[in-house]
């Protein structure tokens, strides 16, 4: 259904350039690409997607840029989403409603992600259904956004996407906001309401999971099997509403409650119910952060915490259908330095850290039947630093580590350990999205990423075989 919507909308807007591709969805179905054969046509089409359609500014979600008359670099470190600048956070907290006063029509945008993945060792049987064991080209995602103001004080970020690896169209991240301002104790108070479908997708700092580094990653490379619930485990599988406040540009508070979506609803939205954690219960989520800007806004620091708790049935038949009570408590921090706040192309340093501690308590009776321990813990830690040169070249590095209770009857790893750690090195190049860019209605991000595992699913000996290069091209075009 969503693929049809995506196809119809895109074809209406730019039929001459891209209609032929989307009218033949079999061309996008996952399979190995022959770079020197007819698949060159698909790559050529991806390039065409980046050709200007109409005039106007653009960025990763170009409709935001159009609405505000701002270049991508005003909101995004490195001139491409999703890493936010102070203004990007302000824009989000104010409900995506800030604007230049002009009528730009519906805030629709299109992005594409295509990639090449090379793993150190081939993956027997293929990297995914229809792909070769190694050296795969893929159309990772085609995404259609409604992103911008709906009414005064009301805005939305809604993403429909087609996953070219999973061959699945789905409703992706949704964040609909109402924001208003007032005063409390003589100081400015910003408050708002968010309706969203992914805990932390509503968060304005990139130190929380939904918008954390890496901002894109290979869907064709192995990834560790253990992750915490707040780390994407509930993404697009719940729907929730929350209230947030920012007082005196100092204290941020948020409280949300989510409800798990049932299997028919998940299927209707393009999700596969059994692929991830399922819950039918209410899920409380809370967030607090202290922030400080100083040095004429050259420096920004944030330190915070977030937590959620849910009764879930782990996906992949991990517990043979028994429920597990998972509680995640997390700390996070952000620091940004802007060398010249008056220039959006000035050099910028960003650092993010997050630590999540999860406890998982199995339902009574489950340990006896599964042989698993009754309680488990899982810790995830990530720390990344990036430095953006002139909003054009942005090298980044991240260290990540996951560790937890070893239990061969709980984790589906070879030795029962969920432990993994490693580093990600990335360099991204973004030619446009700046005030003087020649192409004002489009942008692209070309990135090379190398993921190096020191340990993987409890094993040090075989960890390096999962190391991989990921070359990605990300384009954004406004309608």
Partner 1 sequence: MPIRLAVALAILMGLLAAVSAATTITVIQRGLALDRASMSLATGDRLNFTNDDDVIHNIHIFGPGSEENVDLGLQKPGKLLTYKFDKAGAYRVRCNIHPSVKMAVTVK
186 touching partner 1, by CB under 8 A: no
Q: Which is nearer to partner 1, 136 or 334 (CB)?
A: 334
The first and second tokens of residue 177, run together, are: 């906001």
Degrees to nearest 5, angle at CA 353 with 351 and 357: 175
154 touching partner 1, by CB under 8 A: no
Considering only residues 52, 86, 122, 126, which one is a binding residue for partner 1 as defined by CB under 8 A?
Answer: 86
Considering only residues 11, 51, 120, 298, which one is a binding residue for partner 1 as defined by CB under 8 A?
Answer: 298
336 touching partner 1, by CB under 8 A: no
Least CB distance to partner 1 at residue 294 (A): 12
Considering only residues 7, 31, 76, 94, which one is a binding residue for partner 1 as defined by CB under 8 A?
Answer: 94
Least CB distance to partner 1 at residue 188 (A): 8
252 touching partner 1, by CB under 8 A: no
Q: How far is CA 443 from CA 315, 320, 353, in A?
A: 37, 46, 28
Count of residues engaged in binding partner 1, rule: CB under 8 A: 26
| Part of the chain binding partner 1 (CB under 8 A), chosen from 118-126, 296-304, 397-405, 451-459 | 296-304
Considering only residues 13, 14, 63, 68, which one is a binding residue for partner 1 as defined by CB under 8 A?
Answer: 68
Considering only residues 16, 37, 101, 461, which one is a binding residue for partner 1 as defined by CB under 8 A?
Answer: 101
| Part of the chain binding partner 1 (CB under 8 A), chosen from 87-95, 131-139, 412-420, 447-455 | 87-95
Q: Which is nearer to partner 1, 38 or 102 (CB)?
A: 102
| Part of the chain binding partner 1 (CB under 8 A), chosen from 64-72, 130-138, 202-210, 419-427 | 64-72
Q: Which is nearer to partner 1, 81 or 199 (CB)?
A: 81
Least CB distance to partner 1 at residue 438 (A): 16
Spatial CA neighbour of 140 closest among 112, 182, 104, 98: 112
Q: Which is nearer to partner 1, 152 or 371 (CB)?
A: 152
- Report how far residue 105's alpha carbon sits from residue 97's, in angstroms, rounded to the nearest whole number: 14
Least CB distance to partner 1 at residue 267 (A): 40
Least CB distance to partner 1 at residue 90 (A): 5
For residues 337 to 356, the per-residue mask of contacts with partner 1, x marking binding by CB under 8 A and - elsewhere, is ---xxxxxx-----------
| Part of the chain binding partner 1 (CB under 8 A), chosen from 65-73, 76-84, 351-359, 360-368 | 65-73
Residue 276 has, within 13 A of its CA and on its CB side, a CA count of 20
Q: Which residues in 369-408 contact partner 1 (CB under 8 A)?
A: none
- Report how far residue 115's alpha carbon sits from residue 113's, in angstroms, rounded to the nearest whole number: 7
74 touching partner 1, by CB under 8 A: yes
Spatial CA neighbour of 376 closest among 358, 396, 402: 358
Q: Strand 168-184 vs strand 154-163: parallel, antiparallel, or unpaired?
A: antiparallel
Q: Which residues in 426-445 contact partner 1 (CB under 8 A)?
A: 435
Q: Are 309 and 214 in contact (CB under 8 A)?
A: no
Q: Which is nearer to partner 1, 6 or 60 (CB)?
A: 60
Considering only residues 25, 27, 43, 90, which one is a binding residue for partner 1 as defined by CB under 8 A?
Answer: 90
- Report how far residue 273's alpha carbon sits from residue 257's, in angstroms, rounded to the nearest whole number: 21
Q: Which residues in 203-242 contact partner 1 (CB under 8 A)?
A: none
98 touching partner 1, by CB under 8 A: yes
30 touching partner 1, by CB under 8 A: no
Which residues are registered as beta bridge partners of 328? 308, 358
| Part of the chain binding partner 1 (CB under 8 A), chosen from 90-98, 170-178, 281-289, 404-412 | 90-98
Q: Kindly list the residues in this chain that would bind partner 1 in the complex (CB under 8 A).
A: 68-71, 74, 86-87, 90-91, 93-94, 98-101, 249, 296-298, 340-345, 435
């Amino acid at each position: 259904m969503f693929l049809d919507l995506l196809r119809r909308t895109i074809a209406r807007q730019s039929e001459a350039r891209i209609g032929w591709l989307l009218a033949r969805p079999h061309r996008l179905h996952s399979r190995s690409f022959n770079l020197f054969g007819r698949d060159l046509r698909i790559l050529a089409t991806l390039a065409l997607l980046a050709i200007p359609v109409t005039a106007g500014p653009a960025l990763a979600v170009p409709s935001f840029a159009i609405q505000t008359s701002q270049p991508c670099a005003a909101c995004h470190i490195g001139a491409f989403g999703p890493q936010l600048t102070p203004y990007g956070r302000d824009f989000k907290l104010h409900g995506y409603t800030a604007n230049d006063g002009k009528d730009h029509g519906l805030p629709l945008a299109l992005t594409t992600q295509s990639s090449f993945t090379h793993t150190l060792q081939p993956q027997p049987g293929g990297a995914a259904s229809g792909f070769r064991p190694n050296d795969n080209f893929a159309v990772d995602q085609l995404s259609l956004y409604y992103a911008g103001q709906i009414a005064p004080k009301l805005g939305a970020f809604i993403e429909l996407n087609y996953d070219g690896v999973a061959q699945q169209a789905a409703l992706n991240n949704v964040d609909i906001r109402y924001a208003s301002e007032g005063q409390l104790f003589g100081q400015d108070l910003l408050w708002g309401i968010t309706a969203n479908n992914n805990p932390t997708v509503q968060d304005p700092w990139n130190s929380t999971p939904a918008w954390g580094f890496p901002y894109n990653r290979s869907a064709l490379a192995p990834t560790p099997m253990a992750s915490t619930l707040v780390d994407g485990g509930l993404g697009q599988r719940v729907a929730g509403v929350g209230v947030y406040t920012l007082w005196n540009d100092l204290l941020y508070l948020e409280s949300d409650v989510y409800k798990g979506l049932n299997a028919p609803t998940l299927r209707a939205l393009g999700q596969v119910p059994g692929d991830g954690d399922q819950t039918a219960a209410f899920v409380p989520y809370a967030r607090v952060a202290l922030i400080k800007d100083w040095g004429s806004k050259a420096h920004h620091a944030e330190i915070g915490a977030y937590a959620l708790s849910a009764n879930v049935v782990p996906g992949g038949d991990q517990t043979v259908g028994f429920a597990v009570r998972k509680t995640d408590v997390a700390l996070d921090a952000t620091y940004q330095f802007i060398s010249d706040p008056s220039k959006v192309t000035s050099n910028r340093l960003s650092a993010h850290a997050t630590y999540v501690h999860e406890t998982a308590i199995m339902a009574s009776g489950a340990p006896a039947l599964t042989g698993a321990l009754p309680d488990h813990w899982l810790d995830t830690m990530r720390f990344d630093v990036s430095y953006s040169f002139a909003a054009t070249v942005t090298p980044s590095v991240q260290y990540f580590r996951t560790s937890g209770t070893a239990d061969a009857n709980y984790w589906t790893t070879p030795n029962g350990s969920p432990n993994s750690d490693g580093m990600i090195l990335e360099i991204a190049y973004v030619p446009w999205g700046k005030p003087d860019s020649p192409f004002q209605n489009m942008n692209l991000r070309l990135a090379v990423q190398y993921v190096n595992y020191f340990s993987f699913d409890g094993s040090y000996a075989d960890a390096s075989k999962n190391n991989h290069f990921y070359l990605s091209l990300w384009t954004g075009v406004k309608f």
